[in-house]
Amino acid sequence: MKRYFLLLFTLLLAFTTFGCGGQQAATSSSSSASSSAAPQELHVSAAASLTDAINELGELYKKDHPNVTITPSYGSSGALEKAIENGAPADVFLSAGKKQMDDLEKAGEALGGTRLDLLKNDLVLIAPSNSDAAKAVKDPDKVTESVSPFQALTNADVRKIAIGGDGVPVGSYSKEALDYLQLTDAVQPKVVYATDVRQVLAWVASGDCDRGLVYATDAKTTKDVTVLAAAPAASHRPVVYPAAVVKSAKEADLAKDFLTFLQSDAAQAVFAKYGFAKP
């Protein structure tokens, strides 16, 4: 009888030890897996006007995805679109113009079913904040002329006007607005072309150019420029920002998740802080 109970006790002890050991091993394995998720890199090609917002949103996304590194590339939408077509690494494309996204789709480089209109913006005329035009806007009672800021582009004291060049969406919108206002021929000798909207902003902020046409969101990023007027809504196509996953994306699923995140209330609040709105 003693041998029977001794055998039974030994078996129970072995079962208990094995069970606890197995559970501990499983828990240890699960913990290790969750803390060592494979690192991922997401390449985001975004219009220059999105620089500040995407930088902040990248950090916000990383809080819930600590294993993900966001690698942004900023520039004119046209240049980014061509770079993607030529094989530049990109998982997500955020354009400031529909044409560039259309061209990417025609080239077969946009993943079907992922395109969406993410944001909208406004086109505004700016001047250096220390200019007489800017001071007049800040103190309307001192305005001595009735000519609108756009019509004043023909004045002799406005020597250089910065706008985006070919392939730059803000340049296309600017040209449409100048055509609509019948100012193109009169101001053409004064126009200088920038590689993207941030260069237009920099030229005006530094005083190298007397006026510039940029997005309202860019004008909000510095105190060195003042908005003189918004371009009439009817003067140009709506400024809409389409987004899509790139067909050759190495991280397509992650790119789709990032696009979903950009549509979330939290992300839209960040965009709104920088002056963007939903389309």
Phi, psi of 252, deg, nearest 5 = -60, -45
Predicted pLDDT of residue 258: 98
Euclidean distance between the first and the last CA atom of the chain, given in angstroms as a whole number: 84
Predicted pLDDT of residue 167: 87
The answer to whether 233 touches 120, Cβ cutoff 8 Å, is no
The answer to whether 243 touches 262, Cβ cutoff 8 Å, is yes
Whether this prediction's pTM lies above 0.85 is answered by: no
For the beta carbon of residue 139, count every other beta carbon within 10 angstroms. 9
Low-confidence ranges of the chain (pLDDT < 50): 1-35, 143-144
For the beta carbon of residue 76, count every other beta carbon within 10 angstroms. 29
The separation between CA 102 and the C-alpha centre of its own chain, rounded to angstroms, equals 18
Q: Which DSSP letter does residue 114 get?
A: -
Predicted pLDDT of residue 36: 53
Q: Which amino acid is at 27?
A: T
| Euclidean distance between CA atoms 139 and 107, whole angstroms | 51
| Start-end of H helices in the chain | 2-35, 51-64, 77-85, 98-106, 132-138, 169-180, 184-187, 197-206, 216-219, 252-262, 265-273
Strands 92-94 and 40-47, bridge-based pairing:
parallel
Predicted pLDDT of residue 141: 56
Phi, psi of 236, deg, nearest 5 = -155, 165
Q: Which among 135, 134, 124 has a CA at the least distance from the CA of 218?
A: 124
Q: Which among 247, 251, 241, 249 has a CA at the least distance from the CA of 69?
A: 251
- pLDDT, one tens digit per residue, over 173-198 is 999 999 999 999 999 999 999 999 99
